[in-house]
Amino acid sequence: MPKILITGASSGIGEATAYAYSNPECELFLVARREQRLTEVAEACLKKGVSRVVFKARDLSVPGQGASIVEECLEELGGLNLLICNAGYGIYGPLQEVSPQDMARIWQVNFQSGYESIYAAVPHLMKQNEGHIVLVSSVIGKKAFPYAASYCATKFAQVAIGEALWGELRGTGVGVSVICPGYTATEFQQSAQNTASQGSWNRPGSGQDSAAVARAIVSAVRHKKREVHLTLPGRILCGLNRISPFLVNHVAAWVLQRASKKEDRRQEVGDIR
């Protein structure tokens, strides 16, 4: 019976992924900061038919929590087969307005906590010769944009770890998948941190449904896909960047610098999770 640990499970992609795995064949270990929301998600998972669900309210901005949740999962569920590193948030604004302290915190939540979890989980997964690790990165983990340097750095790092780890674990029975969604209609934009001059980054309109990302995660695990891009704009962007990074950089900088002068500051980079 697969035992699955999901971080950032109280909303958005994490919540949708918990529901996607809510069947009698699975046991879930859900982690996020908001205990009340986790309670609601856990109850919904049980109604959908999951065999068992355990949830823990944990703040992954605290160093060491990423490793602790793996140990708790092993103790509570008696094992671990699938680790989904999904927790994260955004900071949007000029780099000079993102303090080193803010950078350290987003690095801890978006990247370091996941690294801690992977570091703790890999020996267990290798010992049992099976398992899978999923890192939920982003299109801007492949192509950086102005006014999102800190967020992009964390997502680039996830892609790098995923690529390296895939090679290291090849042939061990443990798979690695990096998921690169485009803009997804979740609470992510509303909860993002904006710097003093940045104003609102909340995007009007709709993006892809978080359930679509969850289905992509399930498929990536089942078929052991190394990297998954969900949206056509995202695939086009990455393709153009390979052909002419100079052109893409200049167009992106021009568009975002121009948009940053507008009163509502709703830049297209806010489209990309």
pLDDT at 105: 97
pLDDT at 182: 77
- pLDDT over 90, % of the chain: 68
pLDDT at 235: 66
Q: Which helix (H) or strand (E) holds 240?
A: helix 232-243
pLDDT at 198: 53
Q: Is the pLDDT of residue 269 over 90?
A: no
User: For 147-178, what is each residue's pLDDT tens digit?
Assistant: 889 999 999 999 999 999 999 999 999 999 99
Q: Is the pLDDT of residue 196 over 80?
A: no
**Domain containing 259 — which CATH number?**
3.40.50.720
Lowest mean pLDDT among 91-95, 134-138, 265-269: 265-269
Instruction: Give start and end residues of each alpha helix (H) in 26-108.
Output: 35-48, 65-77, 100-107
Domain total in the chain: 1
pLDDT at 43: 97
- Residue whose tokens read 């709703």: 266
pLDDT at 191: 54
Pick left, alpha or beta for residue 210 (phi over 0 → left; psi -120 to 50 → alpha; otherwise beta): alpha
Q: What average pLDDT does this structure show over 139-152?
A: 89
Q: What average pLDDT does this structure show over 119-138?
A: 97
pLDDT at 231: 73
User: For 56-76, what is each residue's pLDDT tens digit?
Assistant: 999 999 999 999 999 999 999
Q: 19, 92, 115, 151: which is the annotated catalytic residue? A: 151
pLDDT at 140: 87
Q: Is the pLDDT of residue 245 over 80?
A: no
| Burial class, 258, CB count within 10 angstroms (exposed 0-12 / middle 13-18 / buried 19+) | exposed
Q: What is the rounded CA–CA span in Å between residue 74 and residue 16?
A: 23
Q: Is the pLDDT of residue 204 over 80?
A: no
Confidence bin at 213 (pLDDT 50/70/90): very high
- Average pLDDT value over all residues in the chain: 85
> Which residues, including other chains, have CB under 8 Å from residue 48's CB and lie 6 or more apart?
19, 22, 23
pLDDT at 272: 37
21 carries an active-site annotation: no
Domain region containing 226: 3-271
pLDDT at 34: 95
Q: What average pLDDT does this structure show over 5-9?
A: 97
